[in-house]
Amino acid sequence: MVNTLDHFMWAGPDLDAATAWFRETSGVDPVVGGSHPSHGTRNTLVSLGDAVYLEIIAPDPALDSTSTLRERFERLPRPGVQAMIFATSDLAAVRRAYADAGIAAEMLDMSRDTPSGDTIHWSMTIPEETALGYFVPYFINWGDTVHPATTSPKGCTLARFEVGHPEAARVGALWRALDIDLQVARADAPCMRATLDTPNGPLVLTSPG
């Protein structure tokens, strides 16, 4: 079993501004995904291929709920790549691999109401917070739900997704145990970099910093 990149978050403090910037820069208009009441966030989506997509995400001003995610996004000075989510066919195996690494992880059934009034469902394995931050990633299984990459606007593709970390060997060992097919380079600071091919040319999205 190899767990592949499902999507990544490009997060900021203002969804409308981030979405407008992406539309103007890439030439592709993201579609409204919906709100996440339990997190106090909302998103827009863009397909990057057959099974991978970009989630543009920010606090939802219409929601009173808060969360660690919302608070982090509110503090961002500008949008940046904030998290990676990997697709898996076996969330229980991922949870066991995390347990073997000494990391507690919970399995959750989740849902989101779409603007059309439909409700989509998925399941996730969410690890506890560690010093490695988002380099201890979430995992997702869409079950019978149609993958967002197939229903979101097309025109962009993911050319490269690169990650670096000061503890690359430690992160790499964890990722191998989790059957993640992405290499981690040695870097002075944690970083994520996505290069997209768009109708307006190459577009690079990076983590803040």
Report how many domains make up the chain: 1
DSSP state of 180: B
Q: Report residue 66: phi and psi, to 5°.
A: -130, 170
Q: Which residues pair with 186 in a beta bridge?
A: 165
C-alpha dist (Å) from residue 98 to 48, 87, 176: 28, 15, 11
Residue 170 in domain? no
CATH number at residue 104: 3.10.180.10
Give a yes or no: residue 95 inside a domain.
Answer: yes
pLDDT digit string, tens, across residues 87-130? 999 999 999 999 999 999 988 888 877 777 788 889 999 899 89
Query: Could you tell me if residue 193 is inside a domain?
Result: no
Tokens coding 136: 């201890």
pLDDT digits (tens, 9 = 90+) for 34-69: 888 888 999 999 999 999 999 999 999 999 998 888
Give this prediction's pTM: 0.92
User: How far is CA 13 from each of CA 8, 65, 72, 82, 181, rounded to the nearest angstrom?
Assistant: 16, 15, 9, 12, 31
In a domain, 162, yes or no: no
Is 101 among the domain residues? yes
Quote the pLDDT of residue 111.
81
With respect to residue 133, please indicate whether it lies within any of the assigned structural domains: yes
Q: What is the mean pLDDT of residues 179-189?
A: 94
Structural domain that includes position 47: 4-154
Residue 175 located in a structural domain: no
**Could you tell me if residue 194 is inside a domain?**
no
